Amino acid sequence: MSFRFFVLFIFSWPVAAGELHLVFRESHFLNQYRHEFYINEAQYVYIDDHFKLNDEGKWVPKIPALKIKTLNSDDQTKLINQLVELGVGEWKSEYPASDVSLICDGLSFTLYVKSDTLNMYSSGGCDFPPNYEKVRQILEDL
């Protein structure tokens, strides 16, 4: 094999894009439910943990539902593009900005994203950034 061929072969090898790392947690103050999404090393994990009622209308113990799958690079790129389009990069680091009238028994969230395109951290409770529900739904639908 010639040196020229070797160099051309190396430069034509696909270059892996930077890896996507994502953590999204949403929970109720009294732990009536929690949703957690994790993406690391192309592995997607979704934990859905909340009280449920049985057929008789009685509470049953929390048994978390788990969804695990591998995201290829196209899936990761699509997700990042969707998050950018929804303005996640513009989210404030804290919601609400002031906790003067904050009710402590509401819903809280944390979102951390690290990729080549998007790096951000945001958290809050009882007050949510624009497109919050759309972002949560996109993560749930992966």
Mean pLDDT of 27-51: 86
State the pTM of this model.
Answer: 0.78
- Residue 137: pLDDT over 90: yes
- Residue 135: pLDDT over 80: yes
pLDDT tens readout for residues 45-67: 999 987 777 889 887 777 788 99
Residue 141 CA neighbour count, 13 Å, CB half: 9
- Residue 107: pLDDT over 70: yes
Phi, psi (deg, nearest 5) at residue 79: -60, -50
Mean pLDDT of 12-34: 72
Q: Per-residue confidence at 72, pLDDT binned at 50, 70, 90?
A: very high
- pLDDT of res. 133: 96
- pLDDT of res. 98: 67
Residues 96/109/142/60 CA torsion (nearest 10 deg): -140
- Residue 108: pLDDT over 80: yes
HEC secondary structure over the chain? CCHHHHHHHHHHCCCCCCCCEEEEEEEECCCCEEEEEEEECCEEEEEEEECEECCCCCEECCCCEEEEEECCHHHHHHHHHHHHHCCHHHCCCEECCCCCCCCCCCEEEEEEEECCCCEEEEEEECCCCCCHHHHHHHHHHC
Which fold would CATH assign to domain 20-141? Mago nashi protein (3.30.1560)
Instruction: Provide, rounded to the nearest whole percent, the portion of the chain with pLDDT above 90.
Output: 54
Per domain, the residue ranges of the chain are: 20-141
